[in-house]
Amino acid sequence: QKEVEQNSGPLSVPEGAIASLNCTYSDRGSQSFFWYRQYSGKSPELIMSIYSNGDKEDGRFTAQLNKASQYVSLLIRDSQPSDSATYLCAVAGSGAGSYQLTFGKGTKLSVIP
Amino acid sequence: NAGVMQNPRHLVRRRGQEARLRCSPMKGHSHVYWYRQLPEEGLKFMVYLQKENIIDESGMPKERFSAEFPKEGPSILRIQQVVRGDSAAYFCASSPNKNTEAFFGQGTRLTVV
């Protein structure tokens, strides 16, 4: 059974601070990792994808991947109230099942003005 | 370029009725995925389809649920004889090929009364 674990939160950070969201996964063969943002009552919105070890930066977002530790993280710099949402970590399956995403339950982030 | 289009956005059905959920993928995308999100639960994979083919339906309940993606027209997720436990948000996602990022539609929120 493939599992993706996230702290459910809520994670509260003041405006302008760095928010750090973490995710661990069980499938050692996974090669593709994604972060989605989901506002309450809305659909998941893809914000970052990462495929190789290390850091990947896109604007205020940085994704970090460590395959040896089976760990993915998302850093949000200069957090804004509009970043308040649930962040979903998604891991693609390995091998022939690479199309199938396994999602964590999400971490609810609250950015306090 | 329109995103993934789902309709209806909200659907109310009485127990025992049928629910039909529609999904038109993004232009140029031939891979469609259906996910279900129960309250307080993570997104769960249901089925993966390409035009006229069901590739993987391992996440779909064996009874009452079916999916199709005809040569012409949207993908359809069909739930027969709905029960209260079917109440959930059903999201469709699409991708240009099976190993790339998947983009989600706005979802259909099914309520069974």
B1 vs A: CB within 8 A: no
Stretch B99-110: mean pLDDT:
92
CA dist., res. A13 & res. B58, Å (int) = 39
Among A34, A49, A98, whose Cβ lies nearest the Cβ of B98? Answer: A98
- Please report the pLDDT score of residue B1 as a whole number: 53
Check whether A1 has a pLDDT greater than 80: no
Residue B58 DSSP symbol: T
Of A42, A63, A37, residue with least CA distance to A52? A63
Query: Closest-CA residue in chain A for B9?
Result: A42
Tell me the C-alpha distance between B50 and A15, whole Å: 44
Q: Cβ contacts (< 8 Å) between A33 and chain B: which residues?
A: none
CB atoms within 10 A of CB B99: 13
Residue tagged 């109230």 (tokens): A81
Asked whether the beta carbons of residue B55 and residue A105 sit closer than 8 angstroms, the reply is no
Each residue's pLDDT tens digit, B48-88: 999 889 999 999 999 999 999 998 899 999 999 999 999 99
Bond preceding residue B8 cis, omega within 30 of 0 = yes
Closest residue in chain B to residue A106, using alpha carbons only: B42
The model's confidence at residue A18, banded by pLDDT at 50, 70 and 90, is: very high
CB contact under 8 A, B48 and A49: no
CB within 8 Å: B42 and A88:
yes
Task: Please determine, for residue B16, whether its predicted confidence score (pLDDT) is greater than 60.
Answer: yes
Task: Compute φ and ψ for A70, nearest 5 degrees.
Answer: 55, 55
Cβ of residue B53 closer than 8 Å to a chain A Cβ: no
Q: Residue A45's closest CA among A106, A101, A87, A75?
A: A87
The pairing of strands A107-112 and A11-14 is parallel
Token pair 């290390």 is at which residue? A54
The pair of three-digit structure tokens given for residue A88, joined into one six-digit string: 């979903």
Q: Are B42 and A36 a contacting pair at CB < 8 A? A: no
Cβ separation A43–B91 shorter than 8 A: yes
